[in-house]
Amino acid sequence: MKLKSLLVILAALLLVGVNGVSQKAAAETNDKMQIVTVNIQDVLLSSDAGQEVRKVLESKVLEFQEKLQKDQEEIQTLQAEIEKKSSVWSQQVREEKERDYQKKVREMQLQQEDAQFEMQQVEKQEMEPILKELQQVIADLGKKNELCLDHGFAGRIALC
């Protein structure tokens, strides 16, 4: 499965953390809760599944950058034309070109916002199944090692 390396890394992190928690719990006689925290971002970045998602996101970013760069070049060309020729144009032509320029700038801003929103949606769509699987693995390992998952904070495990 894609998540095999993710699970191995997570299991190793949890076992190291569980061992440390178990030793501390045995050494301490008070009722303090011991906590193991799993850095989900590190796990995702070092896993095959996380790397695949990163590649998908990077390709999508490049796609948007190419499109936006083309539009940015058009805007810069129009701006240069306005700066170069505005003294020769009539007021009506100059105003028309400036309106066209402003319109293109607004459209570019909207395209950037749309691209950011779409990137967020793609990231959510790509990460959701991995995060669900990761949460299940954390819960399963926690049960196996008699730990409780703190649902208020993803990745935090405490002794029951």
Query: Residue ranges per domain, the chain?
Result: 4-159
Let me know: does 9 contact 43? Beta carbons within 8 Å. yes
- Please give the full DSSP string across 12-66, using - where no structure is assigned: HHHHHHHHHHHHHHHH--S-PPPEEE--HHHHHHHSHHHHHHHHHHHHHHHHHHH
Please tell me the pTM assigned to this model: 0.61
103 compared with 132, residue with greater pLDDT: 103
Give CA separation, 45 vs 8, 38, 137, 146, in Å.
14, 13, 17, 27
Condensed to tens digits (0 to 9), the pLDDT of residues 37-90 reads: 777 778 778 888 888 988 999 999 999 999 899 999 999 999 999 999 988 999
Instruction: Specify the DSSP element, H or E, that contains 30.
Output: none
Q: Which two tokens stand for residue 4?
A: 């095999």
Return phi, psi of residue 39, to 5°.
-80, 95
